[in-house]
Amino acid sequence: MKMRRPQPLGRQVAWVVSAIFFFALVGVQAIHLRSTHASLQRQLESLAQDAATSIGLSLGVLLRGGDAALAETVINPAFDRGHYERIEYLGVNGERLVSRTLSPVQGRYPAWFATLFELQAPTAESLVSGGWQQLGKVQVTVHPRFAYEQLWSTARDTLIYLLFIYAAALVALRMFLRDVLRPLAAVERAALAIAARNFVTLQLRPSTRELARVVEAMNSLSRKVNEAIEAETRRAERLQDAAYRDQVTGLLNARGFAARFESSYEGEHEPFAGVFAFVELGDLAAINRKLGTERCDALLREVCVGMQEAAATSGGFAGRWSGALTVLALPGLASDGARDGLAKLRNEARAAVKRLGFARNDKVFCGGVEVRGGPALLRHLAAAADAALMQARESTDGIVVLRVAPPGAQTAKPAAEMLALVADALAERRVNLAGQGAYRLSDHRPLHTEIMARLRDASGRELVAAEFLPAVAAQGLGEQLDRVVIGQVLEAARGRDDAISVNVSIRSLEQAGFVRWLLQILQGEPRLASRLVFELAENAVVQNEAAAAAFARALAGAGAGFALDNFGIRRDSLALAQRLRPAYIKLAGAHTATMLTNSGARFYAESLIAAARQLDIPVIAQNVQDEALFQAIAGLGFAGYQGNLGGKPSPWPAKV
């Protein structure tokens, strides 16, 4: 049975009060009219009798001689006043001696009113006698016209007055309800906000005791839930720090650096291109013995903070690889620029050591590798940088930067050729789509399919994202790539009913034309939009959070979803999720891979999931490659998983 839609409280109160006023108005009007009607009827009867008596007495005095003409002089003045319908003077034998009759006249009142409130025209008699002799009798019938006019005037004026009171009462009621219901409306908005995990606090102070208690209870609920989420968030941050940060310097530790590097530059992401370097502070053990642990730690913090700031200026990051070894990822730099930067860092580190009185223990060595030409794994870069560091220990200036080619680079296409290939492939829409499913952890049911792009060269060979993304970025073709991929996805999705996720570039979201184009399509096909989720990498969101937030709001308005990919790399990840409220988040695959061997990573994931659950945001584990890893994450609370365990990326849509 279809349930009736509940009506607003203010409207219900207004209807009830209006009904009460209506029945009161009708009742008052009916009682007043009935009373007035009865009074006027009595007045008419009295008027008829008084007139008959008065005329009878006058005629008795004047008509002793039986002059009938004289009778008219008495009757005419009374009749001419218009209050009487008929006045007759009848002789003793019933003969009509004088008769005056007023033709029917409609007064100033509606005919229907006279029909609805009928007044009887009373007739009164009075004997006419002269002395002891009866001369005849007088009959007077009153005309009710004036009574009707008075009754109509009374009814009309009373109705107008009551309607004025009714209107004034409604205005007063509206003002009263507005003041009374404003706290309720605020409580409703706060409840909806809390349901959306936006824990607001009401600043209202209602004058009504019951409403004040409701507002106080709502604020208390909001504070307690918010405090619980903040506690989970702080716990997750502490666990993340414990698992992925060096406690002495505050930099990423080796595990944290590896997770961030792999999530940013490996897999389907744009490969690392730039300088990867190790910086070693020599004789650290001797410095520690002389200064003590506390002062040695202060020295390390000073040196490492300088390295982190230097890395950040080039869009990179730093970490503490081991006790005396710091690692730097400097994307976009050539070896010459990196050499100058490393020389500056080396001089600053040596100066810090000398300030502590270690003029002979200022050995700082820098070994780096410049990588170009294709994807490179972290372990290969670390091995090459370690070899460069060994040479730096033997060099005169303590700095060595080598140029290396990543594995497989010898088969990669030259840069100019790759740029041309990418431009041609996008212009000719030589794009293949591959899909990989994400599955519910509890029963392995499909959640959605993530779509990945592949470009084809002229010979038909497919290029994975890691091969062509550098060229796309170099030529500013991110928006064009996203338009082609999304266009093909939408075309193929129209004949399906499964959920689909598509990755987008932050550079595309910065283009108003791209967002308008996408929203126009989604708004025109709401059923299709409801099955689509657009994913954005956490690192990309940090580059322009305002654009990402605006895009998320626009998608919500169009009925589509927004999600965060490669999540959990930054320290403020949960705060970012709380601001953007994604449909789900995918934990970075680098975190997942460590859960088999690292209890800290598992504790961090469990705490992150608990905090995200408070925000009603499901967490999906990425890069779940085998059953052993699945078993390691099974009890942590993940909503789903994605990886080769559920199937490798395959052509999408699948051919039947």
pLDDT category at 530 given cuts 50, 70, 90 is very high
Q: Which residues, 6+ apart, have CB-to-CB distance to 387 below 8 Å?
A: 367, 402
Same domain, yes or no: 508 and 641: yes
pLDDT for position 102? 77
Beta bridge partner(s), residue 331:
274
Domain assignment present for 571:
yes
Distance CA 353, CA 367 (A): 19
Distances (CA, A) of 476 to 424, 471, 473, 515: 14, 8, 5, 17
pLDDT digit string, tens, across residues 237-263: 787 788 888 888 888 888 888 888 888
pLDDT for position 439? 95
Distance CA 282, CA 140 (A): 136
Domain assignment present for 173:
no
Give the structural domain span for 444. Answer: 415-651
Q: Is 277 exposed, middle or buried (0-12, 13-18, 19+ CB in 10 A)?
A: buried
pLDDT digit string, tens, across residues 179-237: 777 777 777 777 777 666 677 777 777 777 777 787 788 777 777 777 777 787 778 77
90, two tokens: 């009848």
Task: Give first-to-last CA distance, the chain, whole Å.
Answer: 42
- Counting the structural domains of the chain, the total is 3
Same domain, yes or no: 284 and 432: no
CB contact at 8 A, 535 and 565: yes
Predicted TM-score (pTM) of this structure: 0.69
434, two tokens: 């591959």
The 8-class DSSP code of residue 102 comes to P
189 CB-side CA count, 13 A:
10
Strand, coil or helix: what is 34?
helix
pLDDT digit string, tens, across residues 326-340: 999 988 777 677 788
Whichever domain contains 286, its CATH number is 3.30.70.270
Same domain, yes or no: 485 and 454: yes
Same domain, yes or no: 468 and 548: yes
Q: In what order do the strands lie in the sheet with 133-142?
A: 96-101, 84-90, 133-142, 123-130
385, two tokens: 């940088």
Predicted confidence (pLDDT) at residue 1 exceeds the cutoff of 50: no
CB contact at 8 A, 283 and 480: no
Domain assignment present for 236:
no
- Which of 104, 138, 167 is the C-terminal boundary of a domain? 167
Domain assignment present for 426:
yes
pLDDT digit string, tens, across residues 347-367: 888 888 777 776 665 688 999
365 CB-side CA count, 13 A:
21
602 phi, psi to nearest 5 deg: -70, -45
- Which of 359, 378, 410 is the C-terminal boundary of a domain? 410
The region of weakest confidence among 377-391, 410-424, 449-463, 541-555 is 410-424
Domain assignment present for 454:
yes
* Sign of the torsion formed by the C-alpha atoms of 71, 77, 80 and 86: negative
Residue owning tokens 């200022």: 362
Beta bridge partner(s), residue 98:
89
Same domain, yes or no: 535 and 442: yes
* Sign of the torsion formed by the C-alpha atoms of 599, 600, 604 and 607: positive
The 8-class DSSP code of residue 131 comes to T
Domain assignment present for 605:
yes
| Average pLDDT taken over every residue of the chain | 83
Domain assignment present for 221:
no
Domain assignment present for 232:
no
Whichever domain contains 424, its CATH number is 3.20.20.450
Same domain, yes or no: 452 and 336: no
Same domain, yes or no: 154 and 299: no
- Which of 116, 144, 167 is the C-terminal boundary of a domain? 167
